[in-house]
Structure 1
């Protein structure tokens, strides 16, 4: 089955160029020229298959990409879990951080090489489809349960709200419980590429994960910060 992509981008020329490139790479690409049109497509209005991933521009003519991302994460059902790759202005780290806080899975600064966009898309989709070894499909740490097949996280039976990327970060830590990992090691385990210079997105995502799985995110018991090094997932919990 062909993977469906939705590109929300007001630059029609760029959208056409990227769409043609991704189509040649085996994807089916739909285009929306503004944020509200993209949200309508995500909710099934106007027909068409539900997208497997959204490429979302930050600067749109009606509502900006940050608001679109926020609304996507508030949609009912599976639509809220669609991976979002945000296109941001080069040299504007604050917009990237806000986007990640709102639930974007990754970002790519403009201008970009289509090949890098393709690599990012494939990495996000691969993380969603790669299965676990049969012996480790479900991991339990006290009241925390991580189901790799269903890609769900629950705390005492209650669902925890994580993006696809945050789920994979949690898996990367949980698989190495008790081992201190640097930010570079964590990002490499999940994204499959070296950490960009001065990239603090890992800290933003860790904050979001803690808010979802910790009783007190400011006094975490599961994901601990090792000052000057990185993070460690505690083996003993609850």
Structure 2
């Protein structure tokens, strides 16, 4: 089955050229000419990879990439831009892009980057970038529904955002200050037990035994770490 790519570019000539190139290589290509349309398509469909221009109408590529990652969509993103500054490349990568290609580029280089990114995607994730499973829990990023043992689990908006941030940073030890800053938008200086309370709620709702968690682990003196399996 052909892998589906989303090409997000507002230059008609380049869209035609890249679409023809990728189709000739056996890919199924859908296109979007602005950032909001791209975000809607990516949120509602499974794509193997997104080729994303930075300079787009309505919503720029940086914002699209950030919003995709905030929704926990893990589809690989290759960013295209005429802006070659290092700071732009760093920003794109920090926002969740997987690779960066500066215009003008050779068609063969684009194909090589696409193939390399697709090789990075584990076989068990192919075609399922809108879902994540751990233990008895399934998270559907498209519908924002969370199920445990098949039953629908009610999470508050903040609990869901915290869960998504843990998933995006699986295996990484996260300090309370980092979680406050990235999930709540609080400054690190603010002292609060908000993080502890919300982690406890996630454990109660998603762990088999909240007193002996297998996934939402406490790292003493440092913070928390989310893992797929018990350590």
The interval holding the TM-score normalised by the smaller chain is 0.5 to 0.7
Match of 2:54 in 1: 58
CA distance in 2, matches of 1:215, 1:67: 24
CA distance in 2, matches of 1:161, 1:123: 23
1:102 aligns with 2:65: no
1:9 aligns with 2:9: yes
Match of 1:112 in 2: 105
Q: Measure how far apart 1:2 and its partner are.
A: 0.6
Query: What 5-or-longer segments of structure 2 have no aligned partner?
Result: 125-162, 178-230
Q: Measure how far apart 1:216 and its partner are.
A: 5.1
Match of 2:40 in 1: 40
Output one character per residue of 1:25-48: Cα deviation in whole Å (capped at 9) or x when no partner. Answer: 11011100000111111122xxxx
3-state SS in 2 of match to 1:59: coil
Match of 1:213 in 2: 172
CA distance in 2, matches of 1:92, 1:109: 9
Q: Measure how far apart 1:217 and its partner are.
A: 11
Say if 1:16 and 1:217 are closer, same or farther in 2 by CA, change over 3 A: farther
CA distance in 1, matches of 2:110, 2:122: 19
Q: Measure how far apart 1:215 and its partner are.
A: 4.3
Query: What 5-or-longer segments of structure 1 have no aligned partner?
Result: 132-157, 163-208, 219-237
Q: Measure how far apart 1:130 and its partner are.
A: 6.3
3-state SS in 2 of match to 1:81: coil
Matched ranges for 1:31-180 at <5 A: 31-44=31-44, 50-75=46-71, 80-129=73-122, 160-162=166-168
Output one character per residue of 1:122-161: Cα deviation in whole Å (capped at 9) or x when no partner. Answer: 1011111469xxxxxxxxxxxxxxxxxxxxxxxxxx8844
Q: Measure how far apart 1:111 and its partner are.
A: 0.6
CA distance in 2, matches of 1:121, 1:127: 10
Q: Measure how far apart 1:90 and its partner are.
A: 4.5
CA distance in 1, matches of 2:63, 2:103: 19
Q: Measure how far apart 1:112 and its partner are.
A: 0.7
Structure 1 vs Structure 2 CA RMSD: 3.0
Q: Measure how far apart 1:52 and its partner are.
A: 0.9
CA distance in 2, matches of 1:13, 1:62: 20
Say if 1:215 and 1:82 are closer, same or farther in 2 by CA, change over 3 A: closer
CA distance in 1, matches of 2:65, 2:100: 12
CA distance in 1, matches of 2:90, 2:77: 14
Matched ranges for 1:184-223 at <5 A: 213-215=172-174
Alignment size in residue pairs: 143
Considering only CA atoms, is the larger Rg found in Structure 1 or Structure 2?
2
Q: Is the 8 A contact 1:88 1:95 kept in 2?
A: no
